[in-house]
A and B are shown apart, each in its own frame.
Chain A
Amino acid sequence: MSPLLKRIPRTVRSNQWLVYGSITLVMLACMLYVSLNTLIVDIGQSRSRFERESQIESATFLPQKPFAALSTFERDHGLTIERRREVDAALDNGLTLRVFEQTMRVDIPAITAGRDVQADDEMLLGQTVATVLKVPLGTRMTLLGRSFTVVGFAAVPDYMYPIRTTDDAGIILDPKAFGIAVITPAAMDSCAPEALATWHVRTINGVTATARQALDETVGLTYWQDITTNPRYTLATVKLEGAASVSTSMPLVILLLASLLLAAAQGRMVRMQRAQLGTLKALGYSTRELVLHELALPAVIALSGSVLGVLSSILTMRPILNFMVSYFSVPLYVATVPWRAAIVGIVAPVFFTVPAVALVAARLLGQTPVKLMQTTTLSTRPGLLERSLHLTRGSFQNRFAVRAAIRGLTRLTLLMLGAMLAGYLLLFGGAMRDSMDMLVRGAFQDTRYNYTYVLTAPRLKNPWGGEALTSVPFTTTDGQLTFQVTGLSATSTLLVPRDSTGQAIPIDRVIITRALAQKLDLQPGDTWTMQQSVTGQEVTLTVDAVAEMYTTAAVIMPQTRLNSILGTPPSSFNALLSTTSLQIPAQDVLMTMSTAQSRAAFDSAVEPLWVTLGSVAVIAVFIALLALSIVTTLTVEEERVTISLLKVLGYRAEELNRMVLGSGIVAVATGFVLSIPLLLTSLGRLLATTTSGISFSLPIRLSPLSILFCAVIMLATYLLSLRAARRKVLGVQMAISLKAARE
């Protein structure tokens, strides 16, 4: 073995913190990158196969009259149509299962474990519920007054994001409270003969316009929803696609920053060895040999960190994928680390670190051996900035700290980058929490009702009570966004839209929700045209006011005006709001929504969020701690002669810490402050892209309290790293300054 190579393990031993810290940093960054990519690629591929094999519908509809000859109609128009009955079954443990009858041609349930139903006392249980509630196969469950055996777990494509309702606050997933089940048609006949039947159509190319027209002409449509506007499908696809863009950009940025930190730290280490390199050069080693030798350690660190990162992501892949499919009901057909992500994960740190260190080493070794040997540490010549700085005010120790900061500007920049990275992750957690909080408050501040009933057909008389309203789906003229237009009575007390100041907006005007305003970029005074989903009727309206509601893109206007637009009698209505449960015959109700259930779903959704935020915070703190430790270690290494001298002169450890390392707080604070606009900008862009096609928008909020909380965590992390640095400062021998020879 070359004697030079023997230096590597010795360098590792004498710089353990720096080396192992760097490896851990690269490992974490690499693991994050590979894991997220695995998640997206595997679930993306599984989803495509699921949609293909399960014959996902193109749209759901309700006909006004039965088909005269369904198979002829299907053949003539190139469509596959299947009727599916569904009924909600409430279980004792607060869980509601939406029970579907088994379909064979459209929206075919995919079996994710066990087998398909064969007998009438068998059932399939939704994958999300089975995972979250840990229900084993073979469990006996009583549904609709009859006992069933769970023989398999299933995913249904039009319930990929299995939520109870698709309106208002119902968009939040709560697998503990809501799930799906599948039974045989015969079992449905005997359990719930009056169950609501919906129709599902699959077109050859996915385009639905001609199919809708043909269906409307043949059987008349009372309800139509494209799969691309169905939140039970789009919320899954949008979230997965949003996660895909996060998973390709954010971890790559983290990986780059980690590589940059590693390159900088290794570059500084090379420069600290200048006297040794000068000696070796004097002994006859070529610059090329020495540069190659200096690359060995950074390459080993980058490679071992990235390989460990890939291995860790292989180990953690299964639990993460299982966690994801407990939210998105997609069968996990693929569960392997994508080779491309693994290669990028392994190569990127080496690719970024090695050339950077090579550049530093080559530049350094361009000097003569004498020049290199003359100085044992970094350059002693003050830079232009240092020379032009005339400090006369403040205490000596503070002025010293300022000079130390300017001298170590590169180190401080590194520290600032590390703080920015950690601050970004911490504040990401804070922003998620605040935004969710804002969304939840916005969702419930205007609602005073507990139940919403959507009727199967418009009515003129209300024998059941509650507050009557008209609610009709509309789309934008390009068909990209579907939203509800609600006609409310001027005297409505159960739904009170409020403006940004919290003032109630009178229902004598056209009000749009903040979610719709953001998506269509509308403001009061603007005019826009929309299209009724079922009839295609175009309507032009002018915005009078914006209500602060983020959970649903909707229009609220006087009921009589909406009825007039629809051509229905002024007192016509098709939905009811109520504070109490109403006794409406099942065949008259298309959908029932409970605000209490929505509220519980919100609470339930926020619960895992805390776990996620906690994990993100721990990773952020760890990254910050590593970055801070690497930089403080470098500082102590580079300033050891000065530290040693100051110790000889009688300075105490705490004074030395303040003078040599004190300026770090400015870099940490700057990095943290800069991470705030960085986060808000990137998060804003990300959410604007990912929620563009769905009917709600996520407000981006970062409260002062969250900022303060994150700042305290950053400060505590910084103080912790200072404590470790204090030990390093104490460890500097006074003899160093006595032996030191400088320019």
Chain B
Amino acid sequence: MLIELNKAGRRYHMGQGEFWALKDITLSIPEGQLVTILGPSGSGKSTLLNIMGGIDRADAGTVRVAGVDLSHASEGDLTQFRRDTVGFVFQFFNLIPNLTVHENIEVTVDIAKKPLSIDEVLDAVGLVPLADRFPAELSGGEQQRVSLARAVVKNPALLLADEPTGSLDFATSRDILRLLVRVNEVYHTTIVLVTHNAAIADMTDRVIRLRSGEVEEDRLVGRLIKAEEVTW
């Protein structure tokens, strides 16, 4: 198993009281699986993703990803884990504005152990002609493709995408979803995709539905539809 969570929980302090954003989450995700995490706002989707990606820590239970115990890892170990194992795709792309497309991808290559060729990845996401452009000169869809290329280029074992289509129109969103599926198929990358769009779940292997910080549903879907068929 690539990801194993056992009774994982995450607590936030709110004024005098406390609030559990995640409670007793127990699940495992094998290598190569394309998983959707669904749920309404405040259900704990992003918190779960952050814990899996080593940018947040669980307050209860254990979290083990790619053999690393993230619950007890030091800050340095977590940094190393993120360097070697995880790729992130954000809802708002989070590209560095003063770096070109090529350089934005290079940001990951620079610290990756065995990165893929930037040109190959640029080609795969259809960005070769835009390699010297700056983010502000790109459309939202193009920026998200750069973000995806930046995550993929390090050839990570795990790719975490938080609402990757959340700020895109549906045509562009389909394009991004198609690319995600392709990455999963070509590089055998495990992908965990957070969304509140239930339609996306049908194009993935498995759907985990959260409500109020708990797993409400965890079922295999088996890629019922193709990315191009996702509707909004």
Structural contact, B79 and A650, CB atoms closer than 8 A: yes
Structural contact, B90 and A403, CB atoms closer than 8 A: no
Structural contact, B103 and A741, CB atoms closer than 8 A: no
CB of B36 within 8 A of chain A? no
Task: Please count the residue pairs between chain A and chain B whose beta carbons lie under 8 angstroms apart in the complex.
Answer: 87
Task: Determine the distance from Cα of A647 to Cα of B55 in the docked complex, in whole angstroms.
Answer: 9
Tell me the chain A residues, 157-187 only, with Cβ under 8 Å from chain B.
none
B45-80 vs A, Cβ < 8 Å mask (1 yes, 0 no): 010001001011000000000000000000010011
User: A396, A652, A734: which contacts B107 (Cβ < 8 A)?
Assistant: A396
Residues of A close to B18: CB separation below 8 A: none
CB of B134 within 8 A of chain A? yes
Structural contact, A735 and B92, CB atoms closer than 8 A: no
Which of chain B's residues has its CB closest to A642's CB? B96
B101-137 vs A, Cβ < 8 Å mask (1 yes, 0 no): 0010011111100000000000000000000101110
Residues of B close to A729: CB separation below 8 A: none
Task: Determine the distance from Cα of A395 to Cα of B110 in the docked complex, in whole angstroms.
Answer: 9
Which of chain A's residues has its CB closest to B90's CB? A738
CB of B202 within 8 A of chain A? no
Tell me the chain B residues, 76-108 only, with Cβ under 8 Å from chain A.
76, 79-84, 86, 88, 90, 92-99, 103, 106-108
CB of B162 within 8 A of chain A? yes
Given known pairs A396-B109, A396-B110, A742-B92, the reply for A650 and B97 (CB within 8 Å) is: no
Residues of A close to B103: CB separation below 8 A: 391, 396, 399-400, 403
Which of chain B's residues has its CB closest to A397's CB? B110
Given known pairs A400-B99, A403-B103, A650-B82, the reply for A742 and B93 (CB within 8 Å) is: yes
Structural contact, A382 and B110, CB atoms closer than 8 A: no
Which of chain A's residues has its CB closest to B162's CB? A738
Structural contact, B83 and A650, CB atoms closer than 8 A: yes
Structural contact, A738 and B46, CB atoms closer than 8 A: yes
Which of chain A's residues has its CB closest to B87's CB? A649
CB of A476 within 8 A of chain B? no
CB of A6 within 8 A of chain B? no
Give, as a whole number of angstroms, the nearest-CB distance from A637 to chain B: 16
Task: Determine the distance from Cα of A655 to Cα of B92 in the docked complex, in whole angstroms.
Answer: 25
Residues of A close to B134: CB separation below 8 A: 381-382, 386-387
Give, as a whole number of angstroms, the nearest-CB distance from B184 to chain A: 21
CB of A113 within 8 A of chain B? no
Tell me the chain A residues, 649-678 only, with Cβ under 8 Å from chain B.
649-652, 655
Tell me the chain A residues, 700-743 only, with Cβ under 8 Å from chain B.
734-735, 737-738, 740-743
Which of chain A's residues has its CB closest to B99's CB? A403
Residues of A close to B99: CB separation below 8 A: 400, 403
User: B50, B88, B92: which contacts A740 (Cβ < 8 A)?
Assistant: B92
Structural contact, A648 and B88, CB atoms closer than 8 A: yes
Residues of A close to B86: CB separation below 8 A: 650
Give, as a whole number of angstroms, the nearest-CB distance from B83 to chain A: 3
Main secondary structure of the interface of A (DSSP, over half): helix
Structural contact, B98 and A735, CB atoms closer than 8 A: no
Residues of B close to A404: CB separation below 8 A: 98
Give, as a whole number of angstroms, the nearest-CB distance from B162 to chain A: 7
Task: Determine the distance from Cα of A396 to Cα of B100 in the docked complex, in whole angstroms.
Answer: 12
Q: Which of B55, B94, B134 has the largest count of A CB atoms less than 10 A from its CB?
A: B94
Which of chain A's residues has its CB closest to B80's CB? A650
Given known pairs A382-B98, A738-B50, the reply for A649 and B135 (CB within 8 Å) is: no
Chain B contact-residue range equals 35 or more
Task: Determine the distance from Cα of A399 to Cα of B103 in the docked complex, in whole angstroms.
Answer: 9
Which of chain B's residues has its CB closest to A733's CB? B55
User: B107, B109, B132: which contacts A646 (Cβ < 8 A)?
Assistant: B107
Structural contact, A380 and B82, CB atoms closer than 8 A: no
User: B50, B79, B96, B111: which contacts A645 (Cβ < 8 A)?
Assistant: B96
Task: Determine the distance from Cα of A387 to Cα of B100 in the docked complex, in whole angstroms.
Answer: 9
Residues of A close to B76: CB separation below 8 A: 652
Give, as a whole number of angstroms, the nearest-CB distance from B87 to chain A: 9
User: A642, A650, A742: which contacts B111 (Cβ < 8 A)?
Assistant: A650
Residues of A close to B83: CB separation below 8 A: 649-650
User: B56, B79, B81, B107: which contacts A735 (Cβ < 8 A)?
Assistant: B56
User: A390, A734, A743: which contacts B136 (Cβ < 8 A)?
Assistant: A743
Which of chain B's residues has its CB closest to A655's CB? B111
Which of chain A's residues has its CB closest to B97's CB? A380
Give, as a whole number of angstroms, the nearest-CB distance from B26 to chain A: 24
Structural contact, A390 and B132, CB atoms closer than 8 A: yes
Structural contact, A381 and B136, CB atoms closer than 8 A: yes
Structural contact, A737 and B94, CB atoms closer than 8 A: yes
Structural contact, B98 and A406, CB atoms closer than 8 A: yes
Structural contact, A645 and B94, CB atoms closer than 8 A: yes
Given known pairs A387-B134, A648-B55, A738-B50, the reply for A407 and B98 (CB within 8 Å) is: yes
Task: Determine the distance from Cα of A646 to Cα of B56 in the docked complex, in whole angstroms.
Answer: 15
Which of chain A's residues has its CB closest to B135's CB? A380
Task: Determine the distance from Cα of A202 to Cα of B136 in the docked complex, in whole angstroms.
Answer: 81
Which of chain B's residues has its CB closest to A380's CB? B97
A372-410 vs B, Cβ < 8 Å mask (1 yes, 0 no): 000000001110001100110001110110011011000
Q: Which of B55, B80, B134 has the largest count of A CB atoms less than 10 A from its CB?
A: B55
Task: Determine the distance from Cα of A381 to Cα of B93 in the docked complex, in whole angstroms.
Answer: 15
Which of chain A's residues has its CB closest to B81's CB? A650
Residues of B close to A645: CB separation below 8 A: 94, 96
Give, as a whole number of angstroms, the nearest-CB distance from A274 to chain B: 15
Structural contact, B98 and A737, CB atoms closer than 8 A: no
CB of A641 within 8 A of chain B? yes
Given known pairs A386-B134, A400-B99, the reply for A737 and B90 (CB within 8 Å) is: yes
Given known pairs A380-B97, A382-B134, A382-B136, the reply for A649 and B108 (CB within 8 Å) is: yes
User: A381, A652, A740: which contacts B94 (Cβ < 8 A)?
Assistant: A740
Residues of A close to B94: CB separation below 8 A: 641, 645, 737, 740, 742
Which of chain A's residues has its CB closest to B109's CB? A396
Task: Determine the distance from Cα of A32 to Cα of B41 in the docked complex, in whole angstroms.
Answer: 58
Task: Determine the distance from Cα of A391 to Cα of B135 in the docked complex, in whole angstroms.
Answer: 16
Give, as a whole number of angstroms, the nearest-CB distance from B218 to chain A: 24
Give, as a whole number of angstroms, the nearest-CB distance from A671 to chain B: 23
Residues of A close to B96: CB separation below 8 A: 642, 645
Structural contact, B82 and A649, CB atoms closer than 8 A: yes
User: B79, B97, B106: which contacts A382 (Cβ < 8 A)?
Assistant: B97
Given known pairs A738-B50, A740-B92, A741-B92, the reply for A648 and B82 (CB within 8 Å) is: yes
CB within 8 Å of B: which residues of A?
380-382, 386-387, 390-391, 395-397, 399-400, 403-404, 406-407, 641-642, 645-652, 655, 734-735, 737-738, 740-743
CB within 8 Å of A: which residues of B?
46, 50, 53, 55-56, 76, 79-84, 86, 88, 90, 92-99, 103, 106-111, 132, 134-136, 162, 167
Q: Which 5 A-B pairs have the closest CB atoms?
A: A650-B83, A380-B97, A650-B82, A396-B110, A407-B98
Given contacts A380-B97, A390-B132, A641-B94, 15 further A-B contacts (CB under 8 A): A380-B136, A399-B103, A400-B103, A400-B107, A406-B98, A642-B96, A650-B79, A650-B80, A650-B111, A734-B56, A738-B46, A740-B92, A741-B92, A742-B94, A742-B97
Give 16 pairs: A residue, B residue, CB < 8 Å, sorted on A. A380-B135, A382-B97, A382-B134, A386-B134, A645-B94, A648-B82, A649-B83, A649-B107, A650-B81, A651-B111, A652-B76, A652-B79, A734-B56, A738-B46, A740-B94, A742-B97
